[in-house]
Amino acid sequence: METDLEAVWGVPLTAARCLRCGAAHLLPGGAIPPLCPACLQGTVEPQPAYLRDEPPEQVLPYRLSERQLAGALDEWARGVWFRPAELKGSVLAARLRRVLLPLWLVDGLVEGTWRADVGFDYQVVSSQDAYRDGSGWSSQEVRETRVRWEPRAGRIHRRYENLAVPALDGHRALMARLGDFDLGQRAAYTPEAVQGGAVRIPDREPEAAWPDAQASFVRAAQEDCRQAAGAEHIRDFALQAEYRERQWTQMLLPTYVTWYCEGEQAWPVLINGQSGRISGTRRASPRQAGVLALLLGGLALLLLLPGGLLALAGAVFPPLAVLGGLLLIVGAVLALLAPLPVIGVWVHNRRR
């Protein structure tokens, strides 16, 4: 049965899917954007989507507005030779769109047994002899930190709450670009939190995300066991446990997306709506570099042709040979410089 989105979420939303990347979104009202908010390459069409019968329980609020980001985008877009016409702060700020990304938070009770090697730091003092010119041999005390490993085992009965688990297949790649979010600033969901923004629909339900959730439980239990042992290190941690009273919560992360066009392709720029971190590819324009290369090549040709003629005429009138030689030298230098803009842009874009 299709979900009544407005009744559930409290705002009019339309479910749509990108025909290229397959990302599904809830879009504000009936407005369908020309480009997919996820890939900025494909078009989106309204399509029914599988959704829970309740909205997300929590939302991480935006800390930065579109107006506050305008200056940061302008600063970020600078410093690129042969910068595309659209790679400028005003264009990027005008295209800013809010996109809220889903994240699962899982609670649960871990009960079972564990074993591991725990490490304790200790200091070893030794002396090192060194020969110095003028003063002869001298001894210097050297302190070295080493680790003493001991086996430990025990039982664990601990409840963990709000462990973050990806709700998207590409979550880790997105977080690598967006940076960390302070999940402690989360608030209860309200319809105003998604007003005017696109909401990415999870493509990993809790059942599919359980392996990641279990790994988060293991990491949390490992840290607790290290602290309980009073150790500085832990390795070869093994946990045999049951995971009970599991509860899943969906939270939305605040991001912005904008883009600029270079050639026939749109290049996305992602912004962390909490920290303001900007991530994107700042490309140089091959077309602009090509125009400069043609100008330099044309100017070189204009100098080489008369320079050659004057050099030949120098056999009759020697002063012309000097002028012709100068023109040939300048023309040759310009001919060597002509391909450098294109090569430089190619290297810059390849590194990006």
Question: What is the rounded CA–CA span in Å between residue 286 and residue 291?
Answer: 9
Nearest alpha-carbon partner for 193 in 53, 56, 327? 56
At 78-127, the pLDDT tens digits run 888 899 999 999 999 999 999 999 999 999 999 999 999 999 999 988 87
Contacts of 295 (CB under 8 A, 6+ apart): none
pLDDT digits (tens, 9 = 90+) for 226-258: 999 999 999 999 999 999 999 999 999 999 999
Other CB atoms within 10 A of residue 197 CB: 22
- Torsion angle in degrees (nearest 10) through CA of 130, 131, 133, 135: 90
Counting every residue, how long is the chain? 352
**CA distances in angstroms from 181 to 190, 247, 258, 294, listed in the order given:** 20, 22, 20, 48
Q: Sign of torsion, CA 308 309 310 314?
A: positive
DSSP string, 70-96: HHHHHHHH-S-TT--TT-SHHHHHHT-
- Give the whole-angstrom CA distance, residue 152 versus residue 117: 6
> In this prediction, what percent of the chain has a pLDDT beyond 90?
70
